[in-house]
Amino acid sequence: MPELFINLINSLAFIFERLDWLDLVDLILVTLIFFTILMLLRDTQAAVLLRGVFLLIVLIGLLTTLEVLPAFSWLIGNTLPALLLAIPVIFAPEIRRTLERLGRAGTFSTSDRGSQEAQDAVTSVISAAARLSDRKHGALIVMQRQDSLEEYVKTGVLMNARVSPELLLQVFYPNTPLHDGAVIINGFQVVAASCVMPLSSSGVLTRSPERQMGLRHRAALGISEVTDAVAVVVSEETGSISVVHGGRMIRRLDIERLENILRTFFRAKIRRRGLAGLFDRLSSNGARSRREDS
């Protein structure tokens, strides 16, 4: 065993003696790429799968180095290429989601979400959320941004009506035909109600202290993971208000914080895209995660 550690130290010393500044730049670039990928996959099912695959590879590597297991080494050596080909199939949804996020980060666009109509829509949503919270009427309001929600609009009942607190209160009144599902808002219009959203497969809710959160919160997380929409959720059990974006949930909001968050998302500005915008969003996600834990 001591000889193994000595050989390992000698190998590391041999590698570091031959490093130059180009090798360091190369290592830093590779590290940044892996860091970005891991941040994009954080709190998703892919992160759990990656940990499992990594542990499996380490275990296989250790076992195949044992000369006392020649049959096992032969089996792993012949099946490993097939396992590598199976990885894209296993990770297909997560790979697609990551490519979509990178695609949204690759262009420059001037936002017109800060128009007066968009601000009026935000005001209506805030007023409705406050009254729904007081009455403990469950609600899921999805506000469209850059990404189209047309495929989800088709799952609901078309309305194409101007946003108003009274309309949202009526839609989410208990036991009415449209109270189940989500309302989708685009601009100053309620495009559709009773829409079906994709459910999140991440472990965010299972790790939260409020594990009783149900389908509305899972649907809000789900739509935020596949699009850049902002979802407002009112809990039917507690009346608490949450905002979800980018797979992150900010819970237990008061009306003032809700207004600040929504107006930040929908104010007029030029969004930074590309690599700088990507790291801006990763930083903001980390800050929001720390605020959630506090």
Q: Would you write out the chain's pLDDT as a tens digit for each of its 294 residues?
A: 566 667 767 776 777 777 777 877 888 888 888 788 777 666 555 565 666 667 766 776 666 666 666 776 677 667 766 766 666 666 666 666 666 655 555 444 444 444 677 788 999 999 999 999 999 999 999 999 888 898 899 999 999 999 999 999 999 999 898 988 999 999 889 999 999 999 886 665 555 555 556 889 999 999 988 888 999 999 988 899 999 998 888 988 999 999 999 988 887 543 444 444 544 555 455 544 444 454
Q: Are strands 270-271 and 189-195 parallel, antiparallel or unpaired?
A: unpaired
Residue 212 lies in a domain: yes
Residue 21 lies in a domain: yes
Q: How many CB atoms sit inside 10 A of residue 284's CB?
A: 14
What pLDDT does 126 receive? 95
Q: Which of 87, 104, 121 is the last residue of a domain?
A: 104
Residue 72 lies in a domain: yes
Give the C-alpha separation, 135 to 67, whole Å: 69
**E strands present in 78-186:** 109-110, 139-143, 157-162, 182-186
Task: Please tell me whether residues 88 and 126 are part of one structural domain.
Answer: no
Task: Please tell me whether residues 117 and 254 are part of one structural domain.
Answer: yes
Give the C-alpha separation, 128 to 169, whole Å: 6
Number of domains in the chain: 2
Per the structure, the complete domain to which residue 91 belongs is given by: 2-104
Q: Are strands 182-186 and 139-143 parallel, antiparallel or unpaired?
A: parallel
8 Å CB contact between 128 and 169: yes
In this prediction the pTM is 0.59
Residue 234 lies in a domain: yes
Task: Please tell me whether residues 92 and 123 are part of one structural domain.
Answer: no
Distances (CA, A) of 65 to 51, 77, 203: 22, 11, 35
Distances (CA, A) of 260 to 92, 126, 257: 36, 10, 5
Secondary structure tally for the chain: helices H, strands E: 12, 9
For residue 123, the domain's CATH number is 3.40.1700.10
